[in-house]
């Protein structure tokens, strides 16, 4: 039996919460597993997005590309020790078909540097397309589009949003 609206909402919010906890807890290796095999992840600025300009800050078209980014962050890229604190809210879920929903959420991300300096690093929206199992027990991103409210990025954006 297909999931009802409450079950869908719960499944989506669980996915969003687990995703945020994984990134904030430095479990980057589990990040690709939140996506289906051909899942797509992009970060765009709202300014580009609203003008139909396609330039991404980050784009991955598969789990393999997400794993490459994790490998680069772990072994190649150099950045000062830092972590994020995500706050995700106002999730609106719309049913597409029995297995698919879209979801829009707001996020705020604080960045905490190793010396304790804390800034509001990014705010924006997640535009998600999510695949649910029949009973909504399992949920994965088919697409996660991160729309940054601001076009300004302080210093660098290493850890994913």
Contact residues for other proteins, defined by CB under 8 A: 43-45, 47-48, 51, 53-62, 64-65, 67-69, 71-72, 75-80, 151-158
Beta bridge partners of 128: 103, 144
Question: Which CB, 44 or 136, lies closer to other proteins?
Answer: 44
Least distance to other proteins, CB of residue 114, Å:
12
Closer by beta carbon to other proteins, 13 or else 68: 68
Q: Cα–Cα–Cα angle for 82, 85, 90, nearest 5°? A: 150
Distance CA 83, CA 88 (A): 16
Between 61 and 94, CB nearer to other proteins: 61
For residue 35, what are its two tokens? 């996506």
Nearer to other proteins, 45 or 105 (CB): 45
Q: How far is the CB of 103 from other proteins (least distance, A)?
A: 23
How far apart are alpha carbons 114 and 124 in whole angstroms?
A: 24
Residue 92 phi, psi dihedral angles, 5° rounding: -110, 120
């Amino acid at each position: 039996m297909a999931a009802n609206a409450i079950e869908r909402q719960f499944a989506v919010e669980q996915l969003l919460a687990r995703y945020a906890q994984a990134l904030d807890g430095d479990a980057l290796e589990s990040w690709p597993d939140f996506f289906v095999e051909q899942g797509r992840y992009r970060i765009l600025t709202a300014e580009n997005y609203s003008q139909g300009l396609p330039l991404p800050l980050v784009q991955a078209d598969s789990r393999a590309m997400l794993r490459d980014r994790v490998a680069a962050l772990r072994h190649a890229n150099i950045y000062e020790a830092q972590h994020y604190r995500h706050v995700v809210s106002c999730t609106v879920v719309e049913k597409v078909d029995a297995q698919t929903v879209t979801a829009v959420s707001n996020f705020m991300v604080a960045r905490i540097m190793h010396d304790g300096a804390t800034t509001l690093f990014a705010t924006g929206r997640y535009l998600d397309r999510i695949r649910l199992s029949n009973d909504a027990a399992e949920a994965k991103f088919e697409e996660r589009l991160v729309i940054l409210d601001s076009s300004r990025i302080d210093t660098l954006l290493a850890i994913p949003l």
